[in-house]
Amino acid sequence: MERIAVLGGGSWASALVKILSENKSQIHWWMRNKNDVQHLINFKHNPRYLSGVTFDLNYVKPSSDIQAVVSVADWVIIAVPAAFVQQALEELSGDAFKGKVIISAVKGMIPKENILISDYVERRYFVPNSHQLVVAGPCHAEEVALEKQSYLTIGSHDMNTAERFCELLRNRYVKANPLDDLDGIEYCAVIKNIIALACGISRGLNYGDNFQAVLVSNAMFEIERFLDAIMPLHRDLSGSAYLGDLLVTAYSQFSRNRTFGNMIGRGYTVKSAQVEMNMVAEGYYAVQSIFELNKKLGVSMPITNAVYHILYERISPAVEFEILKDKFK
């Protein structure tokens, strides 16, 4: 039986625990909130997220002790919002991940340091890229809870390890495939949240389907230019790990980033939108990281720039999108 640690108590962490535990892996599930852990033990469901999912405690072992959870696992999945990864892992020693495979299920970057989760894990915990994986693809947690057909891509520099993890994920409603583009998948997952924010803002401003289609198609060029500049590699960006993930995040009712952007477009302040959502929109933090990185790269990224100006420089969304719409083809 595979021993897997899942770090995080949110909806995506809950969805991954559901998938893996139903495949009879032993899941050691770390949640920071001790009351949530006790609730899970008593009632077999997460009180905050995907509360309709019942977990089999023969396979799921909840705990608020992160050191104990990590120490017994062979695989460690990080499923904490990027802005809180450092805080979540701060109790772990520098060699806590030694000999383990680390999987990032985080679609964001470490704020201020402006680095990917995989880069942070390598620098802070000395885990080489060959022992890291990235979970990507169009797969909302809410649809996993409903057991809708879903697709995951596991990015890695080691295809054998990626395939082994795919086997742990595959079931009647989840298909998983490996792909040898860990960095590209990770950056694309970050930027697509920024694009989803832009789509949400456009909806809040009453732009229609025609405009959003053009926005998304131009976004693919923006993503391609950025990836070519920061991590050049021959990629087919029409794949589900790239375009597929972007589309579901840009259009789905379950997209936090789209919802957050919609609120901004309708006139909410950043703070009021965050309070009302009570969930983390990764794109809010990601746009600052990508904007700062791009100061050195000098890539043409009009959508990213527009979202940054709106969220961090408090430029009117209506004014910014009047400028943006003239840059599209």
Q: Give the list of residues 6+ apart from residue 271 with CB closer than 8 angstroms, or none.
A: none
Within its chain, how far is the Cα of 166 from the centroid? Answer: 18
User: What is the C-alpha separation between 314 and 262, in angstroms, rounded?
Assistant: 16
264 with 200: CB under 8 angstroms?
yes
7 with 13: CB under 8 angstroms?
yes
Catalytic residues: 192
Q: Taking the chain, what is the end-to-end CA distance rounded to the nearest angstrom?
A: 53
Token duo for residue 239: 């794949």
Number of C-beta neighbours around residue 209 at 10 A? 10
3-state helix, strand, coil in the chain (%, to 5): 55, 15, 35
User: Would you give the DSSP letter of residue 139?
Assistant: -
